[in-house]
Amino acid sequence: MFTEGEPASVVFTILSGRVRVQSRAGASDLPEVLEAGDPLGDVAAFEGGPYPASGTALERTECLVIPRAELFRLLEHHPTLARGFVHGLTQRIVQLTKELRRKP
């Protein structure tokens, strides 16, 4: 779907199927398998940087694909989407903080 280091030009929402996210750097929290309902590439697209890992479909996978510029237009014109986006990012921060606390 995308390769680590490529410009994050789109955000994916997985509608069906599974996607493995894996970094060449071998980060301890990767590889990760994402499924229907999970966002993919959202943080990188929001920041405007490259994808920090590669995403590979493990089976037939359908995604909603939103170009980065359209993502910002949607967030600007639909406050409910903006709140949902912030909520999702907040959940990830909380999860990562808990994981870091568990590590020695």
CATH number of the domain that residue 94 is part of: 2.60.120.10
30 falls within a domain: yes
27 falls within a domain: yes
53 falls within a domain: yes
3 falls within a domain: no
Asked whether the CA dihedral 1, 66, 46, 14 is positive or negative, the reply is negative
Give the model's pLDDT for residue 4: 94
More confident position, 62 or 88: 62
Give the model's pLDDT for residue 60: 97
pLDDT at position 6 over 90: yes
Count up the domains in the chain and report the number: 1
Q: Are 65 and 25 in contact (CB under 8 A)?
A: no
Domain range for 38 is 10-102
Q: Which residues of 87-99 are buried (b: 16+ CB within 10 A; e: fewer)?
A: eeeeeeeeeeeee
User: Quick one: pLDDT band at residue 83, thresholds 50, 70, 90?
Assistant: confident
Q: What Rg, from alpha-carbon coordinates, does the chain have?
A: 14
Give the model's pLDDT for residue 104: 67
Query: What does the pLDDT look like over 23-78, one tens digit per residue?
Result: 887 555 555 899 998 888 988 998 999 999 999 999 999 999 999 999 999 989 99
18 falls within a domain: yes
31 falls within a domain: yes
4 falls within a domain: no
pTM exceeds cut of 0.85 = no
Q: Are strands 32-35 and 39-40 parallel, antiparallel or unpaired?
A: unpaired
Closest CA to 3 of 53, 64, 38: 53
5 falls within a domain: no
